[in-house]
Amino acid sequence: MKHKTLKGFQDILPPEISVWQHIEKISRDVFKTYGYQEIRLPVLESTDIFTRSIGETSDIVEKEMYTFTDKGDRSVTLRPEGTASFVRAYVEHHLFNNPAPQKFYYMGPMFRYERPQAYRYRQFYQIGAEAMGVEDPKLDAEIISMLSKILNSTGLEGVNFELTSIGCKNCRPAYRDALKNFLRDRLNSFCGDCQRRFDLNPLRILDCKVPGCIESRQGSPAVLDHLCADCKQHFDGLKRNLETLSVRHSINPNLVRGLDYYTKTAFEVTSESLGSQKAVAAGGRYDGLVDEFGGPPTPGIGFAIGMERIIPLIKGSMSKAEPPDLLICPLGQEAPEKGLLLAEQLRSSGIWAEVNYEQTSLKSQMRKANRLGAKNVIVLGEDELKKGEVVVKNMVNGTETKAVLEVQELKKIIKAGK
RNA sequence: GUGAGUGUAGCUCAGUUGGCAGAGCAUCUGACUGUGGCUCAGAGGGUCGCGGGUUCAAGCCCCGUCACUCACCCCA
C-alpha cells in the first residue's frame, strides 16, 4: 500500500463513528445541565505555552511534543493536552471578568509523540472541562460528580474513581523533602527507573509497579499527612461533599500527576479491563496557573476524558451500519429519472431514500436492497408510472402495500413501517 | 527512546522436508424476461510488507529494512 496514515494516527470510519457521536451527544447534554459552555481552541500553539505550564522536566515536554518551526521561524507545538491552551485563552480574553465560576468544555484531538500501543495513539481525542474562579471544594465535588455522570450516562461499566490531594506550593516542597530523606538511604534497593526518578520527580516512586519498589517504599511518609492546614481543610471538605453527592470513590495517596501545574485535588478514573493503559479520565486543581499566564490569581479545576479509552468499555460499542428507509428500484426507460425525483421529494420530508442508479435486473436490485438493509422497496416501472400507483414492499416482514404515487401517502406508509 | 511478537485476497487465516498461490466470510453475476433473505453454480480480487542473498527452484532458509501489535517509560 502506497499511502498510509502516520504511525499512531488513525481514521475513524462510519460504523464506529456513531459511538463517538453518542458519547459527544451525552457529554454535551450533561455539560449543559451543569452550566458548562463549549469553547474551541486551536490545536497549534506557541511552544512556550506548554513548556512553562506543563513543566520543563515533565515527560510530555521532554520527549513527547510535536514541536517544529513554522515559516516565520517561530517554535510551535501541536497541543499535547487542553488545559494550557484553555488557560491561555482564559487570560487572553479576560474571561475572569465574568461572574465566577466560569465553566467551559471542549472536545478535540491532542498530540503526543509516543510509541503507540493499545489505547494509546499519537493523535488522540479528549473531552475536557474546566471551571474557574472558585476555590471551594464544593466545586471540586461537583465537577467530579459531573464526570461520573457523563461516564455513567455513556453506558460505561466497571471504572474506579481514585482521589488524593497533592498539596500546594506551600506544603508540597516540605513533603518532597521528607520523602527524599526517607528514600535516600535505601535508594539502591529500588529499580533503575526509580533511582532516576529520585532527582527528577521523587513522588513518582510511589507509583512504581515493580514489586521490589513497592516493598522498599513501605513506611514512607504520606502526602496526606503533610498537607498544610488550608489543603487539609480543602481535602476534608471535598471528601464530605462527595459523600453528600454519593460519588463512589477511593482515596489513593500514591496517585501522581504528570503535569507540574496541579495543586490540591488530583483524581483519576481507571478501568481494570483495559490492559496497561488503564486511565480513562483524569484531572485536578490548578490554582496557580492563571497567575503564571499573567492573569489575576484565579483558582481552577478541570478534567479530561480519553475518548479512545472509554469507547471499548461502552456496552454495545459494536455498532452496526445504519440502513436506509427506502430503496427505489427503477425499471424501463422513464423510471430512472422519475425515481431520482421521487427520492428527492421523499428526502425533503425526512425520509432516507436511495435510488438505484444502474439499470440492472429487478432481482439484482432486490438483492441490493437486502444487502443495504433497506427497510422498504418501491419498484418503479412502466405499469406504475402509467397507473400512478406503486407497491411499497416492507423488507422486514415482506408485506406489500398499494399506494398512490404521491409523496405524503408514501411517507405515511414508510414511516408506519419503521 | 528500550524490548518482544507478527506481516499471504477487502476481512479472518491455512500453506507439509523448499516444488504451479489456497480456504471461509465479504463483493459481483446467474439458476423458466418484474421481487430480496435460504440453497446451488460461477466470477473478479495477490508485487506472499520491501530489498538483497543461498538454491535448478523461496510464501517457506539467511541478512537487512519498513510497518503493525503488545509491553517498558509515561500518560487520557
CA A362 – CA A70 distance, rounded (Å): 58
pLDDT means over runs of 10, chain A (418 residues)? 81 85 95 98 95 79 85 94 96 96 97 90 95 97 97 88 92 88 86 81 81 83 91 96 95 82 93 82 94 95 95 73 89 90 95 88 90 92 91 91 93 84
Closest amino acid to nucleotide B30 (CA–C1'): A364
ipTM field: 0.85
Instruction: Write down the pLDDT at residue A2.
Output: 66
Closest amino acid to nucleotide B76 (CA–C1'): A306
CA A147 – CA A127 distance, rounded (Å): 10
Residue A213, CB half-sphere, CA atoms under 13 Å: how many? 19
Q: Select from A192, A201, A168 the least CA-distant residue to A62.
A: A201
Cell of A134: 472558585
pLDDT digits (tens, 9 = 90+) for A23-37: 999 999 999 999 999
Closest amino acid to nucleotide B26 (CA–C1'): A371
pLDDT digits (tens, 9 = 90+) for A128-171: 999 999 999 999 999 999 999 999 999 887 889 999 999 998 88
A1 CA from B20 C1′ (Å): 26
- Distance in Å from the first CA to the final CA of chain A: 42
Instruction: Write down the pLDDT at residue A278.
Output: 85
Please return the burial class of A271, using the count of CB atoms within 10 Å of its CB with bins 0-12, 13-18 and 19+: buried
Domain-wise residue ranges, chain A? 17-171+227-317, 326-416
Residue A362, CB half-sphere, CA atoms under 13 Å: how many? 9
A261 touches strand B (CB under 7 A): no
CA A242 – CA A144 distance, rounded (Å): 8
A129 in Cβ contact with A31 (< 8 Å): yes
Nucleotides of B under 7 A from a protein CB: 1-3, 26-31, 33-37, 67-76
pLDDT digits (tens, 9 = 90+) for A295-333: 999 999 999 999 999 998 886 665 667 889 999 999 988
Q: Which CATH architecture fits A17-171+227-317? A: 2-Layer Sandwich (3.30)
Which nucleotide is nearest to A399 if distance is taken from CA to C1'? B35
A57 CA from B58 C1′ (Å): 52
Residues 354-393 of A with CB within 7 A of strand B = 360-364, 366-371, 377, 379, 381-384, 391, 393
Instruction: Write down the pLDDT at residue A283.
Output: 95
CA A123 – CA A75 distance, rounded (Å): 20
Owner of C-alpha cell 467551559: A104
CATH code of the domain made up of A326-416: 3.40.50.800
Residues 24-53 of A with CB within 7 A of strand B = none
Instruction: Write down the pLDDT at residue A290.
Output: 95
A377 CA from B58 C1′ (Å): 54
Residue A9, CB half-sphere, CA atoms under 13 Å: how many? 9
Which nucleotide is nearest to A194 if distance is taken from CA to C1'? B73
Closest amino acid to nucleotide B74 (CA–C1'): A59
Cell of A96: 475572569
Which nucleotide is nearest to A282 if distance is taken from CA to C1'? B76
A321 in Cβ contact with A373 (< 8 Å): yes
A119 CA from B37 C1′ (Å): 38
A209 CA from B4 C1′ (Å): 20
Instruction: Write down the pLDDT at residue A317.
Output: 60
SS3 A139: helix
Instruction: Write down the pLDDT at residue A316.
Output: 63
A278 touches strand B (CB under 7 A): yes
Which nucleotide is nearest to A306 if distance is taken from CA to C1'? B76
CA A111 – CA A65 distance, rounded (Å): 7
Cell of A44: 497549534
Neighbours of A191 (CB within 10 A): 16
Which nucleotide is nearest to A277 if distance is taken from CA to C1'? B75
Cell of A402: 398499494
A273 touches strand B (CB under 7 A): no
